[in-house]
Amino acid sequence: MIVAASFTDINFALSFWTAVTFLILLFVLSKFAWGPILAMVDQREKTISDAIEAAKKERAEAEKAAAETKAALDKSRAEMTELLRKSQAEVAAAKGELMAHAKKESEELLVQARKTIAEEQRLAVAQLTEKTADLAIAAAGKLIRAQMDPAQQKQLVEAYLKTLPQA
């Protein structure tokens, strides 16, 4: 036979033994299980917090290293820019010095060439004057057929040439 029970019927014996079993279970769990479980949870919590702290330290160190690297890179760029500026200045100075030296040499060569040309011109005029005098003496000697020694003839021609305008 089936006895119908409703939700409002309370079985005190069953409730008593359920409560006693629950209390025994709580005692056994608190004595043997809760301590190790809580210790393990605390240990895990400590491990996680240590890992978080280590990660924070590593991140701070990484940021510091990145800042140092950036500073070193900026310093290297500044040094490179300074070296480039110095080398450009040195190249410009060397170029100016070479240009001045070349200009000075060319002016010296030009002055030397002008002196040489003037000297050659003077020698050419002297040779031309001498040849002209010799030709004039020869021509005068044929024309005059006079008896003059060559030194007197040359002296006469040179005196005549001095009276001519110089070109």
Half-sphere exposure of 119 (CA within 13 A, CB side): 6
How much is the pLDDT for 5?
A: 61
In a domain, 4, yes or no: no
C-alpha to C-alpha distance for 140 and 136, rounded to whole angstroms = 6
In a domain, 158, yes or no: yes
In a domain, 136, yes or no: yes
How much is the pLDDT for 62?
A: 95
Domain interval for residue 24: 13-163
CB 132 within 8 A of CB 145: no
How much is the pLDDT for 3?
A: 57
Place of tokens 């060559």: 150
In a domain, 8, yes or no: no
C-alpha to C-alpha distance for 66 and 118, rounded to whole angstroms = 76
In a domain, 142, yes or no: yes
In a domain, 49, yes or no: yes
CB 150 within 8 A of CB 137: yes
pLDDT (tens, 9 = 90+) of the chain, 167 residues, equals: 555 566 677 888 999 999 999 999 999 988 888 888 888 999 999 999 999 999 999 999 999 999 999 999 999 999 999 999 999 999 999 999 999 999 999 999 999 999 999 999 988 888 888 887 777 776 666 666 556 677 877 887 787 777 776 65
Give me the number of domains the chain comprises.
1
C-alpha to C-alpha distance for 23 and 28, rounded to whole angstroms = 9
In a domain, 5, yes or no: no
In a domain, 143, yes or no: yes
